[in-house]
Amino acid sequence: GIVKNTRNIIIDMIRSANTNIFMEQLYLYDSYIINALIKRKMEVPKLDIRILADNNSNIGLNGLPNTIYLRELNLYNIEVKARRTITSKKKLPNGDIQVFHQENHRNTLSVDGKTLLTGSSSLSPSSQQGITREAGIQIFDKESIRKFENNFLQEGASACI
């Protein structure tokens, strides 16, 4: 086989899409992948591209970095929704209050119900350029992919815009 980095695998998957691309991502600001999504949408206007991204409210940057390309994606009718961050407070034995944030660190891409890529690699330049060590797996089992896509569509329907 050929060794490829995650960015190349993702771009190849995007280029092969004909009916749908469903993505769940913690970070969404790798320009190569954003450009590949836009280019494929222009080539196949009926392509259903939906992205469910973390809103990153726990880092206090008002949606950044995921909002950097939001305008461009919306211009090409690529649906991006934010997943709510769940926050809870816990009283510690010493009386202090600790705030916990549940991050939705899902990094999954499904194309046409045929291929699914999931792993630890976020769509950020540092992950895609190999600055951090990441792992991923491609799944070709149609039943597993169908389950992911059904779950994605249900969760996406209730996500905030």
CB neighbour burial string for 39-61, b if at least 16 within 10 angstroms, e if fewer? ebbeeeeebebbbbbbbbeeeee
Element (H, E) at 119: strand 115-119
pLDDT of residue 132: 60
Going by C-alpha positions, the residue among 146, 118, 141 that lies closest to residue 24 is 118
Read off the pLDDT of residues 113-143 as tens digits, 9 standing for 90 and up: 999 998 866 665 556 556 566 667 889 999 9
pLDDT of residue 119: 81
Q: Which two tokens stand for residue 146?
A: 């169908």
Check pLDDT > 80 for residue 75: yes
Read off the pLDDT of residues 41-72 as tens digits, 9 standing for 90 and up: 999 999 999 998 876 555 554 555 566 778 88
Cα–Cα distance for residue pair 100/149, rounded to 1 Å? 29
Q: Which two tokens stand for residue 122?
A: 């976020």
Query: Taking all residues of the chain, what is their mean pLDDT, rounded to a whole number?
Result: 81
φ and ψ at 104, to 5 degrees? -95, 80
Q: What is the secondary structure of 26-66 as a DSSP string?
A: S-B--HHHHHHHHHHHHHSTT-EEEEEEE--GGGTSTTTTT
- Confidence bin at 77 (pLDDT 50/70/90): very high
